[in-house]
Amino acid sequence: MRKYSVIGNATCTQSATLPLITLISTANIRPRINDVVLGSGASPVDQNGRFALQRCTTAGTPGSSLTPQALNPDDPAALAGSGLAIFSAGPTLTANAFVLQLAGAMRSTIRWVPKDGHEIVLPATASYGVALMALQVSAAWDLSMMIHYTE
């Protein structure tokens, strides 16, 4: 099992269609998300937000593509892909397929960790994946995101 990390920073503009970051599978692997961390490195102010991972069936058009980094340098390059905001075209989101929801404040760091065997699993299908959506934010603030997953 190879472990990878995706890290990105984006302004968390509220949107039900355009994600902040995506993790997209391929035909040969089933990525398993085992760590999600949300925080902010900007000057702290009282803002809050509600974020959710939603399943998607296309990758959309990201502002930039992220290359997942292997946590073990001996591991090969990741097969999964990732996109970072600002998306010019959002991925095709699966209605009501929210697999995780996290709410928190800008001043705090939120982390979600599953128990072994209870990771969020993506299908082994090209372009299928999950998108981190800012469902509700009090204001647009700089959000730092980190997703760890295995292939």
Partner 1 sequence: MPEYKHVPDPHGAIIVDGHEVANTLQCCHCGCHFVSVKGSGTVRGFCLRCSAVTCGKPECDRCVPFEKQLEIIERKAHGLPGS
Binding site for partner 1 (CB under 8 A): 27, 30, 96-102, 104, 108-115, 118, 120-121, 123-126, 128
Q: Which is nearer to partner 1, 27 or 89 (CB)?
A: 27
For residue 86, the minimal CB distance to partner 1 (Å) is 27
Residue 20 corresponds to which tokens in the numbers above? 């902040």
Q: Which is nearer to partner 1, 1 or 88 (CB)?
A: 1
Residue 67 neighbours by CB under 8 Å, 6+ apart: 77, 78, 82
Q: Which is nearer to partner 1, 69 or 114 (CB)?
A: 114
For residue 118, the minimal CB distance to partner 1 (Å) is 4
22-55 residues labelled b (16+ CB within 10 A) or e (exposed): bbbbbeebebbbbebbbbbeeeeeebebebbbbb
For residue 69, the minimal CB distance to partner 1 (Å) is 22
Q: Which is nearer to partner 1, 86 or 99 (CB)?
A: 99
For residue 2, the minimal CB distance to partner 1 (Å) is 19
Closest CA to 139 of 45, 20, 52, 53: 45
For residue 66, the minimal CB distance to partner 1 (Å) is 23
Q: Which is nearer to partner 1, 72 or 96 (CB)?
A: 96
Q: What is the CA radius of gyration of the chain?
A: 14
87-101 residues labelled b (16+ CB within 10 A) or e (exposed): beebbebeeeeeeee
